[in-house]
Amino acid sequence: MPTQKVNKSKEIIDKIFKDSEIIFGLKEFKDFDIENILKITEEERGRFYIKDLKSGKYRFVFDESKQNGKPEEIIRQLWLHKLNKFYGYPFDLIDTEKSIHFGSKEFARADIVVYKNDKITPYIIIEVKKPSFEKGIDQLKSYLNAEGCEIGVWSNGEIKTILYRNYPNNFEDTLSEIPSANKTIDDLLSEKKILSDLDPKTDLKEVIKIIEELVLANAGVDVFTEVFKLIYAKLFDEIEAQKREDREILFRKYKDPNKTFSSINNLFHLAIKKWPGTFFEQDIIRLSPEHLAIVIGEMEKTKLFGSDLMVIDEAFEYLIPEVAKGKKGQYFTPRHAIAMAVKMLNPKKDEYVIDPACGSGGFLIACMNHVKENYLKSEAEKQDYAKEYLYGIDFADETAKVSRALMLIAGDGRSHLFKLNSLDSREWQGEDTDKLHARSELLQRLEKFKDYADEEENKKIFKNFSFDILLTNPPFAGEIKDQGLLRQYEFGRKRGKLVNKIERHILFIERTLDMIRPGGRMAIVLPQGVLNNTNMEYVREYLFDKARILAVVGLHGNTFKPHTGTKTSVLFLQKWGNEAGEPLKDYPIFMAVSKKAGKDNSGDYVYKKDVNGSYFHDARGRKVLDHDLDEIADGFLEFAKKEKLKL
């Protein structure tokens, strides 16, 4: 009797998908018991085959000697399982490697075809082969056109999009889901949707990429603005759904595009009334009903509340136009660098935090998560903390909208997010609603002076604040030449005379130190030249005079690529208080150089192992540790404890 061959599904799938270069993934099937669904065996020495769920035949998937495999075959088999077990389509209505013809000539083979009950008419075509979304969608459209098929699915296992051909020769619509075997497309579009139908694990960035490719790129609208309108409408709908009967969702696609448009536009205007200041009341959704229907088909299953804020933040970073980021020198801080800085400053639940160049709010969100994980017990406490203790300022419209949206998702902390120019408080004056609100909120955080005249002057110019913690990555681009602005700063003068110009980030150093109380702590991202160039000595002398240098962490040269190749460091300071006379030479500084933050081909930040190791030491030359940014933070906290720093 022949020996039973061992199922090596887990081992081979791990080998096939270990390479980050592979575009295929398995997120689509995250809830499946893949090891028991698929059967992969060694049919020839070093060559592995998978048993086809439809035909029972064995298909090649991996060659051990060449270390190459066919991830698309794994995805196809998992789709066969999903169609059969999840959607209820019997295998006798499913075919693979189906010939696609133009006229009498075969020009391709579709990966999977699902037929209608007559077993002749193609109903769903699924394509998993093509290596990019754009090529895959184009291929799928050609299949739908050739076969007169209603539904097309493109999937690489990580993301999927569903095309819906609702009229003859028209496949420019989308569906959020495939109808199951016992339902029609009309049933799908008329079904009530409820809050629990939404998926908090949906990758919003990928959804945005898909709708850009399908419709937004050629819709003649500002992509950032229109998508943000829809995000605000969706946020409002998710909040209101908690109060509705059966927790019904109204942000959804209907069969009639005009009904979809009317419903979404109404939600948008209700959101404007609930959260004024981001959009004007007269704003409208500028996508046509047909284009909007396609977009909603992709967006409706996304869940914003309860999702991973860092994932949503990455989506917003992608969404903000490159031109807007580049012109202002605003490059989003990688999340692992943010996590390091927050961990090292260790904010407490009763400490006020500000980021005067908050961008999308990455530092503030990380602070909130840190405090929640370490000091807060309930969701209500988290929301109260966000409302009371977190402050953000940014001068760009796009990033101000992003930070407000993220703080809405995080816990309605948007009341302390202001669209202002942090460097120039002259621009904070004015009687419009936003500036009046900003001034009234920020007045509460001003430093208190014993002298009445000083107190009144500070209330007028908003110079000195009393925040406990400041974290920021100020824009590096541009020089300040405004003489009125330069007069407000010590760095605006040299030997008693006004300078003609100065780099923006130099003024941010002075401004940020003015924003924290004596004893307050801060982390600021700066070009490394500020800390080691000979012509920057005056800046370093200023820092020694104003603050204790706690730590300097030099970041990998790729950290901010592709935006900029500028070498950067994170400088950690503690503003002098009563202990200002303590001799600096006796005070050790924690120093570190990170050599492990690179970028992979997918655009996500990753750690790269450096065979030479990394050099970390304090001012006394003692080695601290030699690992990544997270361990740098741990090393600093150990160092701070040993040196009895009051953090």
What is the tens place of the pLDDT at every residue in 260-298? 999 999 999 999 988 877 788 899 999 999 999 999 999
For residue 603, pLDDT over 50 is answered with no
Region 574-578 average pLDDT: 83
Mean residue pLDDT across the chain: 84
**Chain CA centroid to CA 98, Å:** 39
Q: What is the pLDDT of residue 625?
A: 56
Region 413-424 average pLDDT: 81
Return the top range by mean pLDDT from 321-335, 371-385, 434-448, 599-613: 434-448
Q: What is the pLDDT of residue 170?
A: 60
CATH 3.40.50.150 spans which residues of the chain?
309-642
The kind and range of the H/E element at 484 are: helix 483-486
Q: Is 424 in contact with 486 (CB distance < 8 Å)?
A: no
399-416 in b/e form (b: 16+ CB < 10 A) is bbbbbbbbbbbbbebbbb
Q: What is the pLDDT of residue 422?
A: 94
Tell which wins on pLDDT, 164 or 523: 523
At residue 18 the predicted structure's pLDDT band, cuts being 50, 70 and 90, is confident
Name the one residue in this structure whose structure tokens are 């298909």.
59
At residue 599 the predicted structure's pLDDT band, cuts being 50, 70 and 90, is very low
Burial class (CB in 10 A: 0-12, 13-18, 19+), 379: exposed
Tell which wins on pLDDT, 172 or 148: 148
* Helix 204-214 / helix 289-299 crossing angle, nearest 10 deg: 150
pLDDT digits (tens, 9 = 90+) for 292-330: 999 999 999 999 887 777 677 778 777 776 444 444 445
For residue 485, pLDDT over 90 is answered with yes
Q: What is the pLDDT of residue 67?
A: 82
pLDDT digits (tens, 9 = 90+) for 336-390: 889 999 999 999 999 999 999 988 788 998 898 899 889 987 777 877 888 889 9
Range list of β-strands (E), 134-182: 151-155, 160-164, 173-175
Q: What is the pLDDT of residue 223?
A: 86
Region 100-111 average pLDDT: 78
Q: Point out the least confidently predicted range of 137-151, 532-546, 566-580, 607-621.
A: 607-621
Q: Of all residues in the chain, what percent carry a pLDDT higher than 90?
A: 43
DSSP letters along 223-266, please? Answer: HHHHHHHHHHHHHHHHHHHTTSGGGEE-SS--SSHHHHHHHHHH
Tell which wins on pLDDT, 402 or 154: 154
Cα→Cα distances 645→221, 410, 549, 576, 640, Å: 53, 31, 11, 13, 5
Strands 390-394 and 417-419: parallel
For residue 529, pLDDT over 90 is answered with no
Residue 568 φ then ψ, to 5°:
-130, 160
The kind and range of the H/E element at 616 are: strand 616-618
Burial class (CB in 10 A: 0-12, 13-18, 19+), 154: buried
For residue 419, pLDDT over 90 is answered with no
Tell which wins on pLDDT, 332 or 29: 29
For residue 602, pLDDT over 50 is answered with no
Q: What is the pLDDT of residue 142?
A: 87
Q: What is the pLDDT of residue 513?
A: 97
Burial class (CB in 10 A: 0-12, 13-18, 19+), 239: middle
Q: Is 575 in contact with 520 (CB distance < 8 Å)?
A: yes
Q: What is the pLDDT of residue 1?
A: 39
For residue 644, pLDDT over 50 is answered with yes
Closest alpha carbon to 108 in 129, 88, 86: 129
pLDDT digits (tens, 9 = 90+) for 189-213: 999 999 999 988 888 888 888 888 8
| 152: Cβ contacts below 8 Å, ≥ 6 apart | 124, 125, 126, 127, 140, 141, 143, 144, 162, 163, 165, 171
Range list of β-strands (E), 11-147: 40-44, 47-51, 58-63, 68-69, 94-102, 105-115, 122-127
| 300: Cβ contacts below 8 Å, ≥ 6 apart | 176, 193, 249, 251, 252, 253
Closest alpha carbon to 493 in 507, 512, 505: 507
CA distance 316 to 312: 6
Q: Point out the least confidently predicted range of 24-33, 312-321, 521-530.
A: 312-321
The amino acid sitting at 441 is E
Q: What is the CATH topology of the domain spanning 309-642?
A: Rossmann fold (3.40.50)
Q: What is the pLDDT of residue 265?
A: 95
What CA dihedral angle connects 512, 514, 516 and 521, to 10 degrees? 50
* Helix 257-274 / helix 289-299 crossing angle, nearest 10 deg: 70
What CA dihedral angle connects 537, 541, 542 and 545, to 10 degrees? 170
Q: Of all residues in the chain, what percent carry a pLDDT higher than 70?
A: 86
Return the top range by mean pLDDT from 130-139, 410-419, 638-647: 638-647
Burial class (CB in 10 A: 0-12, 13-18, 19+), 625: middle
pTM of the model: 0.75
